[in-house]
Amino acid sequence: MTRIEGTIETPHSLPGCVAAALEPDNLTLIRTYPVRGGVRAEIGGTRLRSIIASVDDYLMNLAIAEEICNLPVRSERAAQNKDIE
């Protein structure tokens, strides 16, 4: 059986937070960890259909993790902007 492997690397201002938020979703096909300036996901498996489904789930979870990790930053900026007004 042919093994299929790939890597997705995405830039993030808070890579540790994003990787930690994604950790519960690390299944047998995907391993996620922080790298300098971003997050790396290594994907591997033998069934293309399973890999595609896993990548689709990963990208959705990645978007949510990025949003959650940036909430404190956005809240702080909003508070600073209120102080300026």
* Domain containing residue 52: CATH number: 3.30.310
User: Who's near 60: CB < 8 A, 6+ residues apart?
Assistant: none
Q: Which domain holds residue 23?
A: 4-84
Q: Return the pLDDT at 83.
A: 58
Sheet holding 38-45, edge to edge: 4-11, 38-45, 30-35
Residues 23-28, mean pLDDT to the nearest whole number:
77
- Number of structural domains, the chain? 1
- Residues above pLDDT 70, as percent of the chain: 84
What pLDDT was estimated at residue 34?
96
As a whole number of Å, the end-to-end CA separation of the chain is 63
Query: Which pLDDT score is estimated for 85?
Result: 58
| Predicted pLDDT at 76 | 62
